[in-house]
A and B are shown apart, each in its own frame.
Chain A
């Protein structure tokens, strides 16, 4: 922070450029992957192929957007997978109880409300009780999963129990563009704009860069962190309803372990796990890249066992690049400051 302030505008541009390079390199990696796969199998880029990739990415990217908000403040939300599972099942049960009377809107409100409640719990524990985020959300991960299993009681929600309108939401669209990616892109753009252009949005970055400095600067740290969790929870709730719409068949334990994929997408997307750096666009691109790798491996007829290994390798690569970039930027800024006599 101090270095940035002293270096003035040019230093910020420099740092911005270095980090924008991260998103560009993600796009490049994605382009290379798609190119290679398409050369091997032209079907990969067919209308249906592209639609599938975007549909598959939507839910992961939506969660990654919420997670970014939390990670930027130097926290983490590990409970999102469980929230998705709980919301998907609870909403399914809610709709199945009266398939004709309860429409999509009620379902969305119901799901988002449950998600927001979970987020609120996380947020209160982290921001006001000052328990480390890792421990709190690990705890709520299990608690919410337990509640999910309790609600489900070994039952299953089937596509036939759900109103057709909800299933349409998960698989169809207008003018050939499916609804799911539209929702994700809209949320992503809104959050991206807020974080970049609103003073309160910038405060999330300030908190992540240095919580103490942020507090001294008069930023309402607790309130912002609480909001970040609330938002992440609400998005997880939305994702849960969309999950139900997409898959139709839901059991307890749905989306189990998904939180790790979400965190991976966020980190691969250039959001620093130590906070203060990264954009929702990067995180969404990370989600897109991880999903595309999954699809490409099947199309390239590579054994699916490699998928996890490749995801892990990408994660390590991303963290290494983060570290190297951070060191390099710090050195550049120092040198520049020295030259300017700062």
Chain B
């Protein structure tokens, strides 16, 4: 999807790798003249030409270790780390709670990792330990779900929150003909990413072209199959005129699809949201769901991995306007609040779903 055929970036990377590999040659010192040796460089100033260091230790800390989506992201990130000879690993709690992430952060600090990549279960609860890590020179990259901006260096946003929110509304509006009652089935009530998207959805719905669409309810399925199932049933009963549901969470949208596919509502209600192709394949084929969206989680992990390495090598510091060189993905510019955006969400439908396997 976002595989832009940029040949230049990998070349730059290879060059950088080659340079690091033969570290200590005159050529290298010429390259990074001002900041040599990069190892001792403080975070004060970025040196875009600094090579990616070898043997970096990166640790992925997902929301929860067995979440299939996060597993895809982290695996891709660990793969990417091999490209620049870093050691990457995934550790994390088996429940999606902030308190269990904290003990993992503390352990990672003690292990002296070079960078921690975290999908925060709570933007603020993990902030204290992350700050301690930063104080020890560990770089923090948040991905998937952001931590508070002051306790991480960079946030890899899967897609701009604004774009996700607005595009979901557009997608649904096209399918229901810009008319009727709609509802949102979210994950937990305090999930950072969900709430930002929902705010943008509401904002988009305020535009005149959606004047005939009405958001009647935001329901929470807590990213739990059974609960999302029951919430979908309840929504359809409580709002008999409901025309469409947006479920911007992979668990929610597949549970909702599963319920609708086996109920009398199939064909009457339009469901869309953010889901993975493997999860949704069945429901696209049986015509419960026409279209849904997502970014490529593999690219997300890949980009996060490169961002962590670039930070730890001093190529970037997380300031707005700096450029990140991210291997096969090309370059990304750091935006406001230290955010890097992966790209626009991709829409899956019956025509293209079989091209993807994740």
Contacts and interface: CB of A to CB of B under 8 A. Distances in A.
Interface of A: 41, 43-44, 46-49, 52, 56, 145, 149, 152, 154-156, 158-160, 167, 170-172, 247-256, 294-295, 297-301, 304-305
14 contacts: A48-B237, A156-B279, A247-B255, A247-B258, A248-B258, A249-B225, A249-B251, A249-B255, A250-B225, A255-B226, A256-B95, A301-B238, A304-B219, A304-B231
Given A158-B279, A295-B234, A251 B255 contact: no
Interface stretch (B38-46, B62-70, B341-349): B62-70
Contact of A155 (B71, B189, B251, B281): B71
Given A154-B66, A158-B278, A249-B279, 10 more contacts: A43-B240, A48-B264, A56-B226, A160-B278, A160-B282, A247-B226, A297-B234, A298-B219, A299-B237, A304-B227
B231 A301 contact: no
Given A154-B65, A154-B68, A156-B279, A249 B254 contact: yes
B154 to A, nearest CB: 25
Interface in B229-249: 229-231, 233-235, 237-238, 240
B217 interface: yes
Interface in B96-110: none
Interface size class on chain B is 35 or more
B337 interface: no
Contacts of B258: 159, 247-249
A279 B71 CA distance: 44
Given A149-B94, A158-B279, A254 B225 contact: yes
Contacts of A171: 261-262
B141 to A, nearest CB: 20
B283 interface: yes
Nearest to B74: A154
A297 B234 CA distance: 8
Nearest to A170: B262
B71 A158 contact: no
Contacts of B261: 171
Contact of B230 (A145, A252, A254, A294): A294
Contact of B66 (A152, A298, A304): A152
Nearest to B189: A305
Given A48-B264, A295-B233, A298-B235, A251 B219 contact: no
Contacts of B251: 249
A305 B68 CA distance: 27
A256 B64 CA distance: 13
* Top-4 shortest CB links A-B: A298-B234, A154-B71, A171-B262, A156-B68
B25 interface: no
A303 to B, nearest CB: 9
Contacts of B237: 41, 43-44, 46, 48-49, 52, 295, 298-299
Contacts of B278: 156, 158, 160
B231 A298 contact: yes
A113 B263 CA distance: 31
Nearest to B264: A48
Contacts of A158: 254, 278-279, 281-282
Contacts of A46: 237
B220 interface: yes
Contact of A154 (B67, B255, B281): B67
Given A156-B279, A304-B220, A52 B233 contact: yes
B222 to A, nearest CB: 8
A199 B168 CA distance: 62
Contacts of B71: 154-155
A253 B230 contact: no
Contacts of A170: 262
Contacts of A154: 65-68, 70-71
Contacts of A159: 254, 258, 279, 282-283
B215 to A, nearest CB: 14
B275 to A, nearest CB: 10
Contacts of A56: 226, 229-230, 233
**Most chain A CB atoms below 10 A, which of B68, B234, B251, B283:** B234
Contacts of B279: 156, 158-159, 249
Nearest to A45: B237
Contacts of A253: 64, 66, 94-95
A298 B67 CA distance: 27
A41 B237 CA distance: 8
B289 to A, nearest CB: 12
Contacts of A256: 95
Contact of B262 (A43, A49, A156, A172): A172
**Most chain A CB atoms below 10 A, which of B229, B231, B258:** B258
Nearest to A258: B226
A244 B79 CA distance: 32
Given A160-B282, A301-B217, A145 B225 contact: no
A155 B238 contact: no
Nearest to B235: A298
A170 B189 CA distance: 29
Given A41-B238, A154-B65, A247 B229 contact: yes
Contacts of A44: 237
**Most chain B CB atoms below 10 A, which of A48, A158, A252, A301:** A158
Contacts of A156: 68, 278-279
